[in-house]
Chain A
Amino acid sequence: AQRVTQPEKLLSVFKGAPVELKCNYSYSGSPELFWYVQYSRQRLQLLLRHISRESIKGFTADLNKGETSFHLKKPFAQEEDSAMYYCALTNQAGTALIFGKGTTLSVSS
């Protein structure tokens, strides 16, 4: 079964500290993985895709097929990073997203 697990409901860090949001997945075949972010009172939006291998707003995520993980990392957290983060993968048909339950990141000064 396809599944995404985000073990932490809440992650609280201080400004300037490194951040790692964990994501593990279960999938048969080659998954397409994403991180989505939802800032307060804003729409859910795509942060990054594993295929693009980009760094967006200082965040990166590496797909580790051996550990079936796709953790989101940022070396120095900023207060504006405070948001809900969802890890997701695409279903076999490629037309639906399967989301984890999300992790709230709280960055304080």
Chain B
Amino acid sequence: KAGVTQTPRYLIKTRGQQVTLSCSPISGHRSVSWYQQTPGQGLQFLFEYFSETQRNKGNFPGRFSGRQFSNSRSEMNVSTLELGDSALYLCASSSSGATYEQYFGPGTRLTVT
């Protein structure tokens, strides 16, 4: 099976812009979770989608949003970008959402200037 894929792998945006990141889960996986990884804060949970429904959300401002499509692909959107949004954004997929089943993608490196 192909692993979790994320596009684009690298992105440079300027403050105030918005950005959309994409995640394609492993075939058959219905759950997609998103995490933000920064040197200062480490890995922090953003949200989790299962069968197009957001089941769980982390402690991030409303500028961070996501969605999941019927084919389980997921997108996350960040509006009004801030310098502090520069991070590696990881998505992980699993068949049921159980954390021990999560397989991580390579991440999208977002740089905000």
Q: Are A97 and B99 interface neighbours, CB within 8 A?
A: yes
A46 to B100 Cα, complex, angstroms: 8
Beyond A49-B100, A94-B99, 11 additional pairs, beta carbon < 8 A = A32-B99, A43-B3, A45-B103, A45-B104, A90-B99, A93-B56, A95-B31, A95-B48, A96-B45, A96-B99, A97-B43
Q: Are B42 and A101 interface neighbours, CB within 8 A?
A: yes
A49 to B97 Cα, complex, angstroms: 16
Q: Are B90 and A44 interface neighbours, CB within 8 A?
A: yes
Q: Are A34 and B45 interface neighbours, CB within 8 A?
A: no
Interface size class of A (residues with CB under 8 A): 20 to 34
18 contacts between A and B (CB under 8 A): A32-B99, A32-B100, A34-B100, A43-B3, A44-B90, A46-B100, A51-B100, A90-B100, A91-B45, A93-B55, A94-B97, A96-B45, A96-B58, A96-B99, A97-B43, A99-B42, A101-B41, A102-B42
Question: Contact partner of A43 among B35, B48, B106, CB < 8 A?
Answer: B106
Q: Are B44 and A99 interface neighbours, CB within 8 A?
A: yes
Question: Contacts A98-B45, A101-B41; is A91 near B56 (CB within 8 Å)?
Answer: yes
Determine how close the nearest CB of chain A comes to the CB of B43; give it in whole angstroms: 4
Q: Are B98 and A95 interface neighbours, CB within 8 A?
A: yes
A102 to B39 Cα, complex, angstroms: 10
Residues of A within 8 A of B (CB): 32, 34, 43-46, 49, 51, 86, 88, 90-91, 93-102
Determine how close the nearest CB of chain A comes to the CB of B17; give it in whole angstroms: 27
Q: Are B43 and A34 interface neighbours, CB within 8 A?
A: no
Complex: chain B residue closest to A100, CB-CB: B42
Query: Which A residues are CB-close (under 8 A) to B48?
Result: 95-96
Query: Which A residues are CB-close (under 8 A) to B107?
Result: 43
Determine how close the nearest CB of chain B comes to the CB of A26; give it in whole angstroms: 15
